[in-house]
Structure 1
Amino acid sequence: MSSNVAKISPNAHLSIPDPEWTEFYAENANKVPQLVGSPQHLRDMMERLKVEATGMIPQITGLSSEDIRIKTSDGASILVRVYTPATKKGLSPGLVYIHGGGWTLGDLEGEDIACRAMCVNGGVVVVSVDYRLAPENPFPTGLDDCWDALLWTRSQSHSLGIEQDCISIGGSSSGGNITAVLAHRARNLGIRLKGQILRIPATCHIDCYPPELNLRSLEDLKDAPLLSKRSMELFYGYYNPSDPSNPDVSPLLNTNFHGLAPAYFQVAGLDPLRDEGLAYANKLKEAGVPTRVDVYPGVPHAFYYFPSLTAAAKSSTDLLEAIGQLTKGELK
C-alpha cells in the first residue's frame, strides 16, 4: 500500500483540467504546438505561430526600447533589449529578463509583449537577453551569457536609469531555470539581487529527480499539451550538460538555499514541470527566503500565451503585483 501511495503526487488535484482550458483546447488544438522535433523544426513552428499572432495581440505603448550589443566573457557578443518607461523620472528598479524555449528556442520578440507590460505597468526598466541557444551553443553558453548580461546591467545601471541596488532577475521555463542558477551565483559572489521571478521553471534535470521528493508530474503528465516528457528529454539533450546533477543545470540539487533573493513563482497545474517547481519553492521557504507561489490549476505549461484564458489574465495581474512587492521589499 505504501509503495502505491508514493506513486501519487500530492499535487495531483492540480492537474484536473480547467473547464475553460478544456473548451479552448477542443476548439484550438491546432494552435497549441507540441514541442517535439529537431531544433530547426521547432524554430520554424514557433516562427509560423508568431506570424499568425501578429496583429492579434494589442500593442503596449508608453515606453521606449533600444537594442544594444554587449560583449560576453568569452569574447563573443549578444543583443539585449532595454525597455524604459516613458514617464520615468530618476532611477527606477531594473529587471533582467530571460526568455524560455528549452534553451533551444526563443528570442527577443517572443517575450516582447510581456517585457513591455512589465516595463509600463510594473514601472521597471527591463533588460531582455538574447542569449545564445543550444544545440549550437550547449551548456553553459546561454547561462553564462545571461550572467554577463546581469553584470553588464549592474555596471551600466546609472546610464540605463536603473537603481543598482534594486535589480531583479526573472524568466520563464528554461529562463526560470537560468534565473534560479544565477540567483545562487549572485549570492555566492556577494552580489545583492532585489528579487527573482520564476515562471513555470525547470529546476532539475529529469534524470536526477531526488526519489524522496516524489516528483510525479513529469510522468503523470507525460503527454500534456504543448510541453510533454518527450519535449524535456529533447531539450535537455540539446542543452547537453556533461553532468546533469550539476546545480548549474539542476538548481533543485543545491545544498544551500539560505540568503537567496526573495522569490516569486508561477506554477501551472497541468504542467509536467509542476512538481519540481513547487519543490524548489519549498526549498526556499524552508531556508527562510521570502517566497510567494501562485498556482494555476488545470492549465498547461506556458498557458499565459493564450490571452483569452482567465488564468492567463490572472497570471499577468499576479506578476505585476509581485514585481511591485519585490521592488518595494514587501514580498513575504
Structure 2
Amino acid sequence: MTLSNHAPKGSRHLVDPEIADLLDVFPTLNLSSETLPSVREMFGAPVEGAPDPQELFPDVTTTEHRIPGAEGDPDVRVLYYEPKNRTTSSAALVWIHGGGYVLGSADADEVLCRRIADETGAVVASVDYRLAPETKAPGLVEDCYAALRWLHANAYELGVDAARISLGGASAGGGLAACLAILARDRGEFPVAYQLLIYPMLDDRTSSTRDAHPYAGEFIWTPGDNRFGWASILGHEPGGDDVSPYTAAARVEDVSGLPPTFISVGALDLFLEEDMEYAQRLIATGVPTELHVYPGAYHAYDLNEQAQVTDAYFRDFLGALKRSLKG
C-alpha cells in the first residue's frame, strides 16, 4: 500500500504564534537521492553569528574519542562533555543526534550537549554515528551500542557510575535511542537506567502504510522526507513485514523490561501518533513513562529558542533527566 505523496495542508492556523515565523525562513527539505548532498552541505555549513558554545557554557569541557565499533565496523567518533563540577562517580547520558537517519552530526548538538552537562551534572557522550544511505541498518544502532559499551567498559577510568547510564536523542536520534534500549535489553550485556526520547522517529509505517492525522507533518519534516529517511536506512521501501525493532522501535513485540522513559512531541509533528502509541504501550506494560504533547508545535519547534513552548520543553526534559539521574 502506497499513500499519498502530498503532505497535509492547512495547519498553519494551529501553529503557536511564537514559533510561526520560523516556518518562513526554514528551508523545505524535499529529500531525495538527488537533493541529499546539497541538503547535507547546507546543514553542515557554519551559522553566521552563532554563539561560541564554549562561551555559553565555560564550565563544560569537551574531548573527542575514537572508540571501537562492532566487529568488522570502523571506529566510532564520540564527543565527550564533562561538567567541571562533576562528582567522582557521575551519571552519564549517551546522546544521539537527529537528522532523519541521513543528515546531521554530533557537532551540531554541541550547545545542547553542553547545556545538558551543565544543568544536570552528568557527562554526555554524543555519538557521531554513520549515516544512511551509505550505511544501512543495523550499522547506525551498532555505532550507538559501541558508545554504550565504551562507557560501561571504561566507567571506572571515566568516573562514571555504570548503574546510572541513560540514553537520549531527538528525532531520528530519539528513534535510535529507543532501538538501542531494546537492543541493550535483549543482549543483556549493559544496563540502561533511563531513555529520553525527544519527538522520536519510531515507526517506518508512518506515511508509508499509515497516514498521520490530517494536521500532522506539514512543516519541517514531511511524509515524503519520512519515507526517504526510512527507505535510506532500510535499503528498501518502508512499511513491509520484515522490519527489525532494532531499526524501527515501534516494531518491537514486547516493551516490558525497557527502562523508565520520557517522551515529548508537538501536536503538529508527523510523529505524534506513533510517539503517543509507544508511550501508551510502555505505560500498559508497567514501564514508568512521562509523556508531553505541546499544542501548536511542529517538528523541531525548539529551533526557536525564545518561545515559551521551547522553555516548557527544556524545563520538562531537563527536569525529568535530573530526577532520573539521581539514582
TM-score (norm 2): 0.87
| 2:4 aligned partner | none
| Alignment partners' CA distance in 2, 1:157 and 1:312 | 33
| Alignment partners' CA distance in 1, 2:137 and 2:151 | 22
| Alignment partners' CA distance in 2, 1:207 and 1:17 | 21
| 1:52 aligned partner | 48
| 2:91 aligned partner | 93
The residue correspondences of 1:308-323 to structure 2 (distance < 5 A) are 308-323=306-321
The residue correspondences of 1:234-313 to structure 2 (distance < 5 A) are 234-241=228-235, 245-313=243-311
Q: Please, which runs of 5 or more residues in structure 1 have no aligned partner?
A: 1-12
| 2:174 aligned partner | 176
| 1:7 aligned partner | none
Which residue among 71, 82, 88 is the counterpart of 2:68? 71
**How far 1:281 moved relative to its partner?**
0.8
**How far 1:209 moved relative to its partner?**
7.5
Shift in CA distance, 60/284, structure 1 to aligned 2, threshold 3 Å: same
Q: SS of 1:64's equivalent?
A: strand
**How far 1:158 moved relative to its partner?**
1.5
**How far 1:189 moved relative to its partner?**
2.4
Q: SS of 1:52's equivalent?
A: coil
Q: SS of 1:319's equivalent?
A: helix
Q: SS of 2:80's equivalent?
A: strand
Equivalent pair of 2:76/2:146 in contact (CA under 8 Å) = no
Q: SS of 2:196's equivalent?
A: strand
Q: Given residue 44 of structure 2, which amino acid in structure 1 is its aligned partner? A: E
Q: Given residue 302 of structure 1, which amino acid in structure 2 is its aligned partner? A: A
Kindly tell me the number of residue pairs found equivalent between the two proteins. 308
Equivalent pair of 1:97/1:126 in contact (CA under 8 Å) = yes
TM-score (norm 1): 0.86
Q: Given residue 156 of structure 2, which amino acid in structure 1 is its aligned partner? A: H
**How far 1:63 moved relative to its partner?**
1.3
Equivalent pair of 1:36/1:234 in contact (CA under 8 Å) = no
Farther off after superposition, 310-319 or 167-176: 310-319
Q: Given residue 36 of structure 2, which amino acid in structure 1 is its aligned partner? A: P
Q: Given residue 226 of structure 2, which amino acid in structure 1 is its aligned partner? A: M
Equivalent pair of 2:207/2:223 in contact (CA under 8 Å) = no
Are 1:199 and 2:198 matched, yes or no?
A: yes
Q: Given residue 100 of structure 2, which amino acid in structure 1 is its aligned partner? A: G
| 1:3 aligned partner | none
Equivalent pair of 1:204/1:249 in contact (CA under 8 Å) = no
**How far 1:245 moved relative to its partner?**
2.7
| Alignment partners' CA distance in 2, 1:97 and 1:134 | 18
Q: SS of 2:313's equivalent?
A: helix
| 2:161 aligned partner | 163
C-alpha RMSD over aligned residues: 2.4
| Alignment partners' CA distance in 2, 1:170 and 1:176 | 6
Q: Please, which runs of 5 or more residues in structure 2 have no aligned partner?
A: 1-10
**How far 1:253 moved relative to its partner?**
2.0
* Identity across matched positions, percent: 29
